[in-house]
Every structure is written in C-alpha cells, then in structure tokens.
A = this chain, B = another copy of it.
Amino acid sequence: MDVILITIGDEILIGRTVDTNSAWMAAELNVLGLTVREILSVADEGPAIVEAVERSLDRAELVLLTGGLGPTRDDITKKTLADFFGMALVEHQGVLQEVERLLKKWGRPLNLLNRSVALMPEGADILLNRRGTAPAMWFERNNRVLVSMPGVPHEMRHLMTEQVLPALQKRFELPPIQHRHLLTAGIGESQIAEKVADLEEALPPHIKLAYLPSLGQVKLRLTGKGADAQALGTELQGWLDQFRARIADYVHGLDNSSLEEGVLERLAARRWQLGIAESCTGGKIGARLTRVPGSSAWFRGGVTAYSYEAKSSLLGVNPETLAHYGAVSEQTVQEMLTGALRVFDADIAAAVSGIAGPDGGTEDKPVGTVYIGVATRDGFSHVKRVQFPGDRAANMEWSTVAALNMLRRLMDGALG
C-alpha cells in the first residue's frame, strides 16, 4: 500500500529546520509493511497545501500530513483541510477539555487564541494529543485516508505511536508486527552479512532482517508479521538467538540500549568502578558514559592528558617511556591504564592514545593510528593498535566506540 508524507512549513523551505519527522514516520510505516512513495515539503499557504493534498490523494491510499497546526498557526492548515473536505469548523468538547487541562498544568489562561484550537472539522475523527494542544485529524474520502498531525516532533511521535499507527493497522487490516534488535559494535555491516548469510536466506517470508548502521556500530532488526502474537514472539526469539550465536562477540545489547548503557549495565552487574584515561579522544569517552542517567554510580571519572606533562603528572606515565616510545604507543597506553586504575582506585580502566589528524602523522604512525587498551585491578590488561581511515572527527568517534566496546568485551570474557 502506497503512502505519501507531506510536511507543511515555511521554516523547512527556507532551510531553518531539517525535516526529521518524515524519516521517523517512514521507518515506522515501513515496519508495518507500508511503502512510502514520496515525501513532500510545502509552504504554509492554502493553495500549496490543497495542491499537495489533492495530488497525493490521487496517487496514494494514505497521506500523512504534519505541521501547520498549533495555537498560533492552526488556522491555515485546519481551515484549508476543512474546506477541502467540505466540512464546517465546530468546537470540539473533548479537545476543549484537553486544552483547558494542559493550560491549567502549564499555569496559563485560556484565551481566544487557545479556544480556537478546539475548533475541529465536523465529521473528521479527532485523535486527542496528550502532549500538546493540537490533536490529530483523520479524514476519509473514496476509501482513501488523510491524517493531519502537529509538526512538533515529540507530539507527532506520541500521536503516531499511541493512536495513528494502531488505527492504521485496524483500518487497513494490517497484520500485527513485532520487532527485535541485536546491537553490535566493532564489526562492519558486510562482515555481519557474511557471517549470517545462510540464516538470512533461511528466513521465512513473514520475517525480515534489516541492517541499521551508525558510526562504528550496526543494529540488526528482525521484523515479523503474524496474527498469533505469542507464536510470533517465540519464533522471533528463536531466530534472534541463532543470529546472536553467529556474532556473539560483537553483540553489546538487545533492543533499546546504547553501547555506553551496555558498559554501565555490565559494571553494575559486577559492582565495578570505572576510570578512563583519554588522549586523542579528548574527553569523548567520559562524555558518552555520563550521558546515561545514574552513570555516576559506576563511573569514577576520567583524565584527558593531552600533553606529555599531564600524562606524567596526572597518570604517572614515565617520561622516559614517552621520550622513547612516544605518546602514541602500546607502552604509553599500558602506563596510562596503570595510572587510571590507581588515581581513580578503579576496578577497571580504559585508555586511548592516537593521532586523530589532520596533522601529527608519521611514516610508521600515520593519521588514524590509535592504541586502545583496557585493564583490571587484578592485573589483566589488553592493548590493541587500530588504524582508522577517517578525518579527525570520525577518528575520534571511532576510537571512542572502540574503547567502550573493548570494555564491554572484557566484561563479557571475550578478550580471553
């Protein structure tokens, strides 16, 4: 079934706002087995909206519209759609109550402007918005559906997840779907594809595999369709386990958890305290870990030793080691690890030193050369030399992911 997405908003056409709503919606619809045929952004003007809507309804069974709603702007889109579908605007009690509830919560008075938000096209289905004042409006004509939603991302996502997607499944009798995720790091999309090629081949038609790569990480998504939710769940779990077995060393989590969350969960399980010694990553590793609420329970801190002096004074790296092997060397990273364990009185530590670029590369240590290491209080340590191909920003990002992943692998017993 074909879908067209329309985003309304001048701010998109002048480049002030990037349309992130469409990508999110497209991914969600795709999971339901719906095909987005076209994504369209048009101006905040009646004629432009009518033209886009008319054209889209001719070419797709479902049209989803975002933007152009809300206390100050709802008039254009709402009025335009009401006229287009030949409906009058009448005050909707449910919406009015919801608006009053929200304004009370926000401590704001109900003025005429807000009151106009409760005017709804008579005959459209109204899906209340618990996150904002503008609800979604569901229109039908010759068996085709148009749903209009506010453009504020968190309101749109809430309305889609809670109301629109379930309603679409019902209306178009789409088979219920489920998805499961395998989160990997330290392995590329193509390497995974090789390792699981035969499994992917063997997947039944109602189960699909998708690769969702990001810098240094790849998320595998298994999506299944089937009426019997329990049977499907069991079946998906079976496949998930098989895929996981093939790439076990690289899996840091399931479904919705980030690599840093995976590291912190493993620290919590062992009640281990972590200390970090950074150089070329400049603090990024600590910044990633501390994004996670509650990270302070297991992350003692980090030292970013960007200079020789700091490496020696703060981490106790021997100046002779630096002079003899250089800051970017296995020996220096070993001593950074020892220092991090000591200064943070940590159970486990990670250290990184490398040449992010663009300058500083040498014949035997070109830009992108990075030494990454982990060590534990009981004396185990592991240091690896890696060669990253990117620019400064990418090399810093890859080094950060690689260090977090090495911590994860150590705690998974994958470093031997």
Contacts and interface: CB of A to CB of B under 8 A. Distances in A.
Interface of A: 12-20, 22-30, 35-43, 48, 52, 212, 276, 278, 280-287, 289-291, 293-296, 299-307, 309-310, 313-314, 343-345, 356-359, 392-393, 396
Given A290-B283, A396-B290, A40 B43 contact: no
Contact of A18 (B18, B300, B357): B18
A309 B345 contact: yes
Contact of A23 (B12, B276, B296): B12
Contacts of A282: 283, 286-287, 289-291, 295
A25 B16 CA distance: 11
A24 B15 contact: yes
Contact of A283 (B16, B28, B286, B294): B286
B290 A299 contact: no
Q: Interface SS of chain A: helix, strand, loop or mixed? A: mixed
A272 to B, nearest CB: 14
A280 B287 CA distance: 9
Best-surrounded residue of A14, A294, A299, A313 (most CB of chain B within 10 A): A14
A365 to B, nearest CB: 15
A42 B36 contact: no
Within the oligomer, what is the number of copies of this chain?
2
Chain A to chain B: the 8 pairs with minimum beta-carbon distance, closest first? A282-B290, A15-B27, A283-B283, A283-B286, A15-B26, A39-B41, A301-B310, A283-B287
Nearest to A59: B51
Contacts of A17: 23
9 contacts: A15-B22, A17-B23, A37-B43, A294-B359, A299-B306, A301-B303, A301-B314, A302-B304, A303-B314
A43 B286 CA distance: 41
A35 B26 CA distance: 27
Given A293-B359, A309-B345, A13 B41 contact: no
Contact of A305 (B40, B301, B357, B358): B301
Nearest to A393: B291
A392 B282 CA distance: 21
A290 B393 CA distance: 9
Contacts of A19: 18-19, 22-23, 39
A307 B296 CA distance: 7
Contacts of A26: 12-15
Contacts of A22: 12, 15, 19, 41
Given A38-B40, A296-B306, A27 B16 contact: yes
B357 A343 contact: no
Contacts of A284: 283, 287
A256 B392 CA distance: 18
Contacts of A291: 282, 392-393, 396
A222 B290 CA distance: 38
A18 B13 contact: no
Nearest to A392: B293
